[in-house]
Structure 1
């Protein structure tokens, strides 16, 4: 069943041709702004990985990866869900040093994704990762990095709005920081999504911290794999989307697990079988660099800055018949 909704009175500010041109400009400007802000270098990245390495992102642990057999090798490969783990291996292999990092265009297929205005089975992100020191594994460094990402986003919106007067910059540089437990305490009678909506409507740009571990209610705010983010030093960048009237996640990120955090989180998540995978062995043995990283949704950023109501207006994907019918009737052009 389609989860697509049409905002009352919605009309795209840009026509189809302007939209395509603007997407190209926006992506170029933002990745340059991001690379400059975080001192990142662009690298090439895989579309699929060997499942035996443990490099694929397990997301919430229930999503099924797309797999196929390679004719020449007879071995299976998995299309990535994201590059959360691969990037850390790449930093080691490419000899990156503290203060420097990488970014890449990540393209993934998440076949179990529920289709909606903001969800597609096709995922495109700027995946980034940066080597840090042991002293930088702290909350202040995490917040400093978030401020830089939000600043890059705001500057990009400013540039695009100057090029297209039909658009206005609704973003802000100011970030409101709150933990998932503080949010639950503030809105105890709400669901996790309702809490996100309430805090974003009030503060516009929010970094919601400490996602993955159980809250005092006995449940986590949201699922998070145990083997990349440190659950005490991670979070989501959420921005209030005026068109859709909802909290809009543009990035999941965090300081990554060290040996101690990985050991604890594998136990909590009952995922100790992963200790035998290549990535996890290296990490537990202290053979991978300490890092911070995340993914920033390319189509999500385009939706936000170009004032689009549906992700299909800024990316090409496959949609169910009901979604296509709803969008056609509303005049929403799916690419």
Structure 2
């Protein structure tokens, strides 16, 4: 089911040519800042992987991957990636990347089960990144350090974009606030998790919510996470567990919270076994990726994804992700967008 947010009195601040120029500036400048700040080198990534190896990200566990048979492999199935959360960690091992350094890539994916609308498309493009860490780095303080580095790159990019296009105005606050999902639940006990995100993003402008995937005080997770990449159950320096989180900003055009990035310290052997057991996914231990991790042949790492079209949409103050990327939309959505003055590509 598709869903369209209709911002009142919307008028694009950039025309089509300026929008394309803005997309180019953002993607080039931010990627350079990200790689410099986190000491990452660019690598080439796959669009699809072999089915049955445990390499594809299964997101919340319910989304179907786009699959196809490979003729020259006896019709063995391949899957179009959802993201590269696990592939990146294998690549760190294959490239023997040193501690304190990492990789990033331009990830392109197809998510056929997305609910299409202003924020979600069938086509996903993001900077997927992963960095090797030491055992001592598996802390909430180290995670915050990484998040701040990424946020500073976002601030620098916003400054450049607003200098290039004076009709745009800065939106990001100078300071990013960190809150655990349990703190957020206690702050807004009568709201759903999405309503809490809207409330805190409007209040603070930008927030990193820690602890996505593990049960909170009411026994429910803030949001779902696959059990085999982010470590959402490890104890941290806070009273509640979780070594991962989402970076949200307030989107004034749409009047709602807007997720730009999801990241986390990845599972070690102990956390993988615990989270597979708790989620009822113990059978995954036999898959290739999981065997590599359990056998100690993958490095400890921190990593995440940053939405490319999302970031461009935010900086260029667009109402629909279809103003940034070409995709397929329901006919009624295209028609309604034309009526609202939202020019979908």
Shared fold per TM-score greater than 0.5: yes
How much has 1:9 moved relative to structure 2? 1.0
1:98 — aligned with what?
A: 99
Contact residue 150 and residue 173 of structure 1 kept, 8 A: no
**Aligned pair 1:245/2:255, yes or no?**
yes
How much has 1:321 moved relative to structure 2? 1.1
When structure 1 is superposed on structure 2, of 66-75 and 226-235 the one drifting more is 66-75
Q: After TM superposition, what 4+ stretches of structure 1 lie above 2 angstroms from structure 2?
A: none
1:6 — aligned with what?
A: 6
Taking the TM superposition and a 5 Å limit, the aligned residue runs for 1:1-335 are 1-73=1-73, 74-231=75-232, 232-335=242-345
Q: Equivalents in 1 of 2:330, 2:11: separation in Å?
A: 22
Contact residue 117 and residue 309 of structure 1 kept, 8 A: yes
When structure 1 is superposed on structure 2, of 135-144 and 166-175 the one drifting more is 166-175
Contact residue 35 and residue 41 of structure 1 kept, 8 A: yes
Q: Normalising by structure 1, report the TM-score.
A: 0.99
How much has 1:173 moved relative to structure 2? 3.1
Contact residue 207 and residue 236 of structure 1 kept, 8 A: yes
Contact residue 142 and residue 255 of structure 1 kept, 8 A: yes
How much has 1:22 moved relative to structure 2? 1.1
Cα-to-partner distance string for 1:165-224 (whole Å, 9 max, x where unaligned)? 111111123111111111111111100000001111111110000110111212111000
Q: Equivalents in 1 of 2:124, 2:257: separation in Å?
A: 19
Q: Which runs of 5+ in 1 are unaligned?
A: none
Q: Per the alignment, do residues 86 and 146 of structure 1 end up closer, same or farther by CA in structure 2, a change over 3 Å counting?
A: same
Q: Equivalents in 1 of 2:203, 2:21: separation in Å?
A: 33
Q: Equivalents in 2 of 1:286, 1:175: separation in Å?
A: 35
How much has 1:115 moved relative to structure 2? 0.7
When structure 1 is superposed on structure 2, of 307-316 and 213-222 the one drifting more is 213-222
Cα-to-partner distance string for 1:106-146 (whole Å, 9 max, x where unaligned)? 00000000011101111000000000000111011100000
How much has 1:285 moved relative to structure 2? 1.7
RMSD: 0.8
Q: Normalising by structure 2, report the TM-score.
A: 0.96
Q: Equivalents in 1 of 2:5, 2:282: separation in Å?
A: 41
User: Number of aligned pairs?
Assistant: 335
